[in-house]
Amino acid sequence: MKSDIHPVYEETTIKCACGFEVKSRSTKKDVHVEICSACHPFYTKEQRLVTTTGRVEKFKQKYKLK
């Protein structure tokens, strides 16, 4: 292998928005994610409702449509 062409592989912490942290190794120092296996509905078997009401109205208002 050639020397001085590879990125530094160091210990890092992966942090989720829910507060879950995992220690790992990566070329990036700290990684922040929005959702992880500890809080994702597929893995937790919980159903969450995503509110999408008002999206059409927001779009119409943004582009001033009738």
CATH classification of the domain holding 8: 4.10.80.400
The pLDDT mean for the chain works out to 80
Q: Decide if pLDDT at 29 tops 70.
A: yes
Query: What is the predicted pLDDT for the residue at 15?
Result: 92
Q: Is the dihedral of CA 33, 36, 39, 42 positive or negative?
A: positive
**Is 13 a domain residue?**
yes
Alpha-carbon Rg for the chain, nearest whole angstrom, is 20
What are the tokens at 2?
């050639």
**Is 29 a domain residue?**
yes
**Is 56 a domain residue?**
no
**Is 33 a domain residue?**
yes
Query: What is the predicted pLDDT for the residue at 10?
Result: 92
Instruction: Taking residues 24-50, report their average pLDDT.
Output: 78
CB–CB of 23/3 below 8 Å? no
Query: What is the predicted pLDDT for the residue at 26?
Result: 92
- Residue-number span of the structural domain to which 9 is assigned: 1-46
Counting the structural domains of the chain, the total is: 1
Q: What percent of the chain has pLDDT over 90?
A: 18
Query: What is the predicted pLDDT for the residue at 55?
Result: 76
Reference 13, options 4, 21, 3, 5; nearest CA is: 21
CB–CB of 15/23 below 8 Å? no
